[in-house]
């Protein structure tokens, strides 16, 4: 049975999409059939990490939500090697469902709205049609109807936060709601942590405050910053501390540890 994993943060700028993309890559590299869907229709970006330009796909999640196309037409196999230019993706069982980057498409979804229940239907359609082992949902930051739907259907929820008081307060709200929705598994990942902060002390602090296990602590990294979302970082730097943390997160979210 496929596992649905939502990657979420209460605020933007946490590195949520970058973590989601790297997690998808690591799992696909291990032979899992992985779908990653960008449900952040207001500010999509996962496609860029995989080497796709906004004008390189003719269909997107927006078309499905607005009733213009089945969700199957918004699926882009990243393993064919030709579409992205990233050779390290060639042959991987990895499928992207992007949201449109075009302003008019974003405005139309925001203006007209959509039936959030379609998302739920779309998730399971993708799982069946692509024979997925894992579906990763890159959610919209904050809490809205779409986010609540994504969290509610997830087997695992990974909440990304920075060591920042605003993030802490927002994360507390997210954790409380996830508990009310009975999400089977929930973990925290602290990202963009200053190097002088003790990983063990921060993990202990967060676990005490939120009563949720910490699955990873990612330090501020010049290597990650210089990458600038141009590549899947874990593919380019397989021995980096960032990559090792993502690999441990993959184990945690898929029940290996």
pLDDT of residue 56: 81
Are residues 25 and 231 in contact, defined by beta-carbon separation less than 8 angstroms? no
What does pTM read for this prediction?
0.95
pLDDT in tens, 50-108: 998 877 888 999 999 999 999 999 999 999 866 777 899 999 999 999 999 888 888 88
What value does the mean pLDDT take over residues 208-216?
97
Could you tell me which of 31, 35, 39, 43 has the C-alpha nearest to residue 8?
Answer: 39
pLDDT in tens, 114-150: 878 899 999 999 999 999 999 999 999 998 888 898 9
What contacts 190, CB < 8 A, 6 or more positions away?
A: 161, 162, 163, 202, 203, 206, 214, 216, 217, 218
Q: Which CATH number fits the domain 3-253, given the four candidates 3.20.20.150, 3.40.440.10, 3.40.50.300, 3.30.300.30?
A: 3.40.50.300
The β-bridge partners of 158 are: 7, 187
pLDDT of residue 227: 95
């Amino acid at each position: 049975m496929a596992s649905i994993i939502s990657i979420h943060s209460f605020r933007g700028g946490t590195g949520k999409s970058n973590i989601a993309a790297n997690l998808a890559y690591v799992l696909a590299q291990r032979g899992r059939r992985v779908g990653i869907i960008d449900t952040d229709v207001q500010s999509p970006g996962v496609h860029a990490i995989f080497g796709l330009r906004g004008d390189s796909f003719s269909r997107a999640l927006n078309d499905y939500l607005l009733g213009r196309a089945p969700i199957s037409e918004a699926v882009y196999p990243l393993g064919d090697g030709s579409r992205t230019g990233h050779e390290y993706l060639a042959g991987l069982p990895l499928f992207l469902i992007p949201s449109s980057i075009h302003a008019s498409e974003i405005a139309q979804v925001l203006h007209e709205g959509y039936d959030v229940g379609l998302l739920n239907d779309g998730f399971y359609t993708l799982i069946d049609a692509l024979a997925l082992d894992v579906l990763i949902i890159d959610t919209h930051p904050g809490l809205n109807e779409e986010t609540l739907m994504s969290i509610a259907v997830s087997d695992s929820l990974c909440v990304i936060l920075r060591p920042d008081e605003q993030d802490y307060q927002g994360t507390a709200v997210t954790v409380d709601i996830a508990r009310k929705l009975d999400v089977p598994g929930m973990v925290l990942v602290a990202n963009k942590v200053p190097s002088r902060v003790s990983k063990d002390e921060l993990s202990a602090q967060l676990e005490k405050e939120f009563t949720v296990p910490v699955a990873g602590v990612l330090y501020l990294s010049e290597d990650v910053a210089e990458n600038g979302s141009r590549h899947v970082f874990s593919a380019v730097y397989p021995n980096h501390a960032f990559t090792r943390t993502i690999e441990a997160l993959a184990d945690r979210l898929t029940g290996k540890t």
